[in-house]
Structure 1
Amino acid sequence: MKYKVAIITVSDKSSKGQREDLSGKVIEDMVSSWAEVISYKIVPDEKDLIKKAIIDELDKVDLILTNGGTGLHPRDVTPDATLEIIEKEVPGIAEAMRLVGLAKTKTAMLSRAVAGIKGKTLVINLPGSPKAVRECLEVIIDALPHAIDKLKGDPSECSR
Structure 2
Amino acid sequence: MEAFNQYIPDEITMCRFGAKLMQIASNIPTDNGIIIYLNGDLGAGKTTLSRGMIQGLGYSGKVKSPTYTLVEEYHLTEKSIYHFDLYRLSDPEELEFMGIRDYFNAQSICLIEWSEKGRGLLPPADLIINIDYVDDARNVALLPNSREGKQILQLMKQIISSPS
Q: Please report the TM-score for the alignment, with normalisation by the length of structure 2.
A: 0.35
Q: Name whichever structure is richer in strand by fraction.
A: 2
Q: Please report the TM-score for the alignment, with normalisation by the length of structure 1.
A: 0.35
| Greater RCO (Cα-Cα under 8 Å, separation 6 or more) | 2
